[in-house]
Structure 1
Amino acid sequence: MTILDKIVAHKKIEVAARKEIVSLADLQARPLFDKEPVSAKAWIASPNKSGIIAEFKRQSPSKGLINGTAKVSDVAEGYFKAGVSAMSVLTDQEFFGGTVDDLLAARSVSPVPIIRKDFIVDEYQIVEAKSIGADFILLIASCLTPEESKKYAEVARNLGMQILLEVHNQEELEAHVCDKMDLIGVNNRNLKTFEVSIENSKILAELIPNEFVKVSESGISNIENIKELKKYGYKGFLIGENFMKTNNPSKAAKEFISQL
């Protein structure tokens, strides 16, 4: 069993337990459920913005503890002032140390598009994402059947949210892409081995239809990476550990973006 298999198995149990505590009606009654989502596609593709999707991530299965002291509201406000195009907030607690409260805290201080980064395995999580102020969601092809990814994308669209579909190879891309998606993210990290290479983004670039905003995820640590990936049509660049591993993620983001 891979780490991804373990995460998905645990996530299904976790979601089933949450359903018993908070109903869909309860989620839909929350104030943020009626908030109009911000267009991540517009912000990330805008030539006047950085294209950086900065992440708040405390830990990961591959790296262990990344940052145990950063306060999410401080980081979110700092990322906004630094000029990010969007923010990614990990809400998985068991493996990444995040919670839905982290996204709520980020939402309270930042107007940028926020993605709920989690392992979506149930429609409930999409409704929950809307109820905590997320503007777009992540669908990971490796975790879903093509039918599930398309069904979940439609659920998100019906709630006014956009969708970032994450793929790792040509097979996933061809099987899961559909007109309900908004952004296509190529994960440079192999979720089975956790090895990273931006060559994966280059390989898949020409296979992504032009109507989708291209996003490169993981392993982006310097300006040269971004300059190179822009040649392949990428508009978005998800950066997590590079900022979070520092004592001041906001400052690190500001210095990075100032060089673009």
Structure 2
Amino acid sequence: MLNRFREAKAMEIAQLRELAERGAMPRPWYGHRPSFSARLRGRGPGALIAEYKRASPSMGHINGTLLPRDAASLFEENGAAAMSVLTEETFFKGDFAFLGACAGHGLPLLRKDFLFDPLQVDATASSPASALLLIVRMFPDVDALAAMIQRATALELEAVVEIFDEQDLASARLAGAGIIQVNARDLDTLEVDRGNIERLAARRGAGEVWIAASGVSEPSQVRSAAAMGYDAVLVGTAIMADPDPGSVVRSLARAGGPEVS
């Protein structure tokens, strides 16, 4: 599946290369970017990253009626610490423009997409995003991942580096990752192993920010992840598929926080 995700980005990257060759790449966005990591540390453990996701390969259509700007307002009002925005078009029905639509509500924005070309980092910097997602398995080697992290940092973007197993974690650390996202879903097979979050929690390093993703959908799971030491949890489908997404965000946000032991 990762190869299909990579192939789906070919046209986008070709367009970015054409813009770069003409000197027409969009300029960096110079507005205020709230710190993604600082917000999670301040609101954790178990801080909620609420995700705006219209569709997914495993679920198909999820929610096409909730507008991005309305979602950002709803998430902020109900206690989310940050917001993840799917911008991938083919499989997730996202749009790069969603980032701009979600800005202005005080939530640090994470661009969630399949990013592996430096020009995609430059493009992200033209948006109000505070952070971008880099998936270890999308890169041929540690050096390529490290270059992307360094490029993001130079453009004042934080890199959230996603792993699935111990080997991915080793690569992420060698590349200089400071924010680690543990995905319970294997993106090669799309199968979910909820035990993945618990197994890898024991390897959390001092000073790192850790996020649990794909294996959390209920308040009890937020509390469990917080107790394991996760600074935050990322939840998308459980929020977007519910008829009352605000109430889901509220219940999940209340489950985490400094009071969780």
Return the TM-score normalized by structure 2.
0.91
Mapped pair 1:213 → 2:218: no
Partner of 2:9: 11
The CA deviation at 1:258 is 3.5
Per-residue Cα deviation, 1:21-46 (whole angstroms, up to 9, x for no partner): 5779544536xx11242211110011
Do 1:90 and 1:116's aligned partners in 2 also have CA atoms closer than 8 Å? yes
Partner of 2:86: 90
Does 2:153 align with 1:193?
Answer: no
Tell me the secondary structure at the aligned position of residue 84 of structure 1.
coil
Equivalent residue, structure 2, for 1:138: 133
Q: Residue 58 of structure 1 corresponds to which residue in structure 2?
A: 54
Q: What amino acid is aligned across from residue 135 of structure 1 in structure 2?
A: S
Name the aligned partner's letter for residue 45 of structure 1. R
Q: Which residue, out of 225, 233, 256, partners 1:229?
A: 225
Aligned residue for 2:259? Answer: none
Supply the distance in 1 between the matched residues of 2:225 and 2:22 (Cα, whole angstroms).
41
Pairing 1:249–2:236 present: no
Quote the Cα distance in structure 1 between the aligned partners of 2:138 and 2:175. Answer: 20
5+ unaligned residues in a row in structure 1: which ranges?
none
Structure-1 separation of matches of 2:57 and 2:187:
10
Identity %: 28
CA change 1:136–1:23 in 2 (3 A) is: farther
SS at match of 1:234: coil
Q: Relative to 1, partners in 2 of residues 1:27 and 1:248: Cα closer, same or farther, differing over 3 Å?
A: farther
1:134-191 Cα distance to aligned partner (Å, 9 max, x none): 1011110111121111100000111111111100000111022247423100000111
How many pairs align?
255
- Does the CA contact (< 8 Å) of 1:186 and 1:216 recur in 2? yes
Looking at structure 1, the residues matched to 195 and 161 of structure 2 have their Cα atoms a distance apart, in angstroms, of 19
Q: Equivalent residue of 2:49, what SS?
A: strand
Query: Where in structure 2 are the equivalents of 1:32-71 lying within 5 Å?
Result: 33-47=29-43, 51-71=47-67
Partners of 1:87 and 1:53 in 2: how far apart? 5
Distance 1:78 1:176, change over 3 A: same
Task: Classify the secondary structure of the residue corresponding to 1:70.
Answer: coil
CA distance in 1, matches of 2:203, 2:252: 29
- Please say if residues 47 and 253 of structure 2, whose CA atoms lie closer than 8 Å, have aligned partners that are also in contact: no
Could you tell me how far apart the structure 2 residues matched to 1:224 and 1:24 are? Answer: 52
The answer as to whether partners of 2:162 and 2:181 remain within 8 angstroms in 1 is yes
Query: SS of the counterpart of 2:125?
Result: helix
The gaps in structure 2 that reach 5 residues or longer are: 257-261
Q: 1:132 to 1:256 in 2, by over 3 A?
A: same
RMSD: 2.0
Q: CA deviation at 1:77?
A: 0.7
**After the TM superposition, which residues 139-178 of structure 1 pair with which residues of structure 2 at under 5 Å, given as runs?**
139-144=134-139, 145-178=141-174
CA contact (8 A) 1:24 1:124 kept: no
| Counterpart Cα distance in 1 of 2:44 and 2:90 | 37
Give the whole-Å Cα distance in 2 for the aligned partners of 1:190 and 1:50. 22
Shift of 1:47: 4.3
3-state SS of the aligned residue for 1:177?
A: helix
Does the 8 Å contact 1:78/1:251 carry over to 2?
A: no
Q: Which residue matches 1:183?
A: 179
CA distance in 1, matches of 2:45, 2:21: 38
Structure 2 Cα separation of the partners of residues 7 and 127 of structure 1: 20
Higher RCO (CA < 8 A, seq sep 6+): 2
CA contact (8 A) 2:111 2:129 kept: yes
